[in-house]
Amino acid sequence: MELFYLEDFKKRLEAYPQIGWRECRGCIYVDPKSETNFEVAVCINDFTSAIFCEGWRRDLDDLEDLFKCFLFVLSPQARLKVDSKGSKDFRWALQSRKGDEWVTESKKGALFYPFWKKMITRYLQNEYDF
């Protein structure tokens, strides 16, 4: 089942030749093109299928939903808000564009980080246009 699911995901990718991707151990990776982009990974195994954007993660059981989310996070309609303390990223928020505003759709955070250090926020955004 796992291999068929991953093969089906890769088959769907064939319709998007502009996406440069690589496969490693049951995961599809799209590397950032620049420092203002973020890595996207889709991992499919016997236990879960999930999409990863740096420290943000979403588990999705449906292949169609997984692929739609994958395309969304690669598009300019999504961005990742990353909060850091010191040199440690500790909070990630996936945001979507609604008109002229950015709306947080989902957040993930790390349990341990240097809370006493100054917080820095940066925004990362991919540039694939579909």
Give per-residue pLDDT as tens, 17-54.
999 999 998 899 999 999 999 999 999 887 789 999 99
Which pLDDT band, with edges at 50, 70 and 90, does 58 fall under? very high
Whether residue 1 has pLDDT greater than 50: no
Cβ atoms of residues 80 and 54 within 8 Å = yes
DSSP-based three-state secondary structure for 78: strand
> Under 8 Å CB-to-CB from 88, ≥6 apart: which residues?
110, 113, 114
Which pLDDT band, with edges at 50, 70 and 90, does 4 fall under? low
Whole-angstrom distance, CA of residue 105 vs CA of residue 89: 19
Over pLDDT 70: what percentage of the chain? Answer: 97
